[in-house]
Amino acid sequence: MTKKMAKSKTNIITHGYHGKVGDQFVLRVRGGSSMICAKPDRSSVELTQNQKDQTRRFSGAVNYAKNALADPVKRAFYESRATKEVSAYNKALADFLTKPWVDQIDAIDYTGHPGDKIRIIASDNGKVDSVVVSISDNAGAVLETSSCVFDGENMNWVYTATTTQAVIPGLKVSVVVRDMPGHVVERSLML
């Protein structure tokens, strides 16, 4: 009768750990098994321009997250968004790495009169800080511009026209959205 040895899929000392340990070795988990490996030598690897750009972008995100958590107002915002699985620091990182976007420009109620409304739905994975609307003619001259006001009830940004425009077709509505990290996104609509 042969005895069988018990096999463990995990090492009780390194179970669940991964990453670099000093400058000597790396802990890895592959196929449910923990292992210790030699630290890879990447000294001769030449990064592509895209890799360099991404490294720079991520460094900017790290700097932003550290500074955001040092600011009491931003820290409170990111902590309010944090979950058990995602820390306030990681929320700030993700906010920096994601630009805001414009979902919709609704100019159906704009007829060229003061008081007419243009509604904008703008989103961000963090917080949209501001939305600015400009109306320009077909030659590109800006006829009016102003910040929008957030309408929490309808969850959109509202621009209220201030001048009279006699000719509506050919006017351009330009929307500039800025998020908390300072990213700017522009979108326009021809009337």
Same domain, 63 and 115: no
pLDDT value, residue 166: 82
Q: What average pLDDT does this structure show over 106-123?
A: 95
Task: Name residues whose C-beta falls within 8 Å of residue 187's C-beta, 6 or more positions apart in sequence.
Answer: 102, 105, 174, 175, 177
User: pLDDT tens digits, residue range 124-180?
Assistant: 988 999 999 999 998 889 999 999 999 988 889 999 999 998 878 889 999 999 999
Q: Is a pLDDT exceeding 60 seen at residue 3?
A: no
Residue ending a domain, choose from 97, 118, 133? 97
119 pLDDT higher than 80 = yes
User: Residue 101 is inside which H or E element, if any?
Assistant: strand 101-106
Shared domain for 124 and 154, answered yes or no, is: yes
Sequence-distant (≥ 6) Cβ neighbours of residue 75 within 8 angstroms: 68, 69, 88
Do 111 and 165 fall into the same domain? yes
Give the H or E element holding residue 83: none
Determine the pLDDT at residue 99: 94
Work out the pLDDT band at 27, boundaries 50, 70, 90: confident
* Mean pLDDT for the stretch of residues 10-22: 63
Is the torsion defined by CA of 95, 175, 56, 26 positive or negative? positive
Instruction: Work out how many domains the chain is built from and give that number.
Output: 2
Q: What pLDDT, on a 0 to 100 scale, did the predictor assign at position 8?
A: 46
Judge whether 6 lies within some domain. Answer: no
Last residue in a domain, options 97, 129, 159: 97
pLDDT at 81 over 60: yes
The residue segments making up the domain with residue 61 are 49-97
Supply the pLDDT for residue 76: 96
Residues in Cβ contact with 65 at an 8 Å cutoff, skipping those fewer than 6 apart: 89, 90, 92, 93, 96
- Residue 176, strand partner residues: 132, 186
Does residue 74 have a pLDDT over 80?
Answer: yes
Residue 17 lies in a domain: no
> DSSP code of 1?
-
Q: What is the C-alpha to C-alpha distance for residues 38 and 16, in angstroms, rounded to an integer? A: 18
3-state DSSP assignment of residue 104: strand
Arithmetic mean of pLDDT over the chain: 87
Instruction: Tell me: do 67 and 89 sit in the same domain.
Output: yes
Of 78, 97, 116, the residue that ends a domain is 97
Domain assignment present for residue 115? The answer is yes
pLDDT over 70, % of the chain: 89
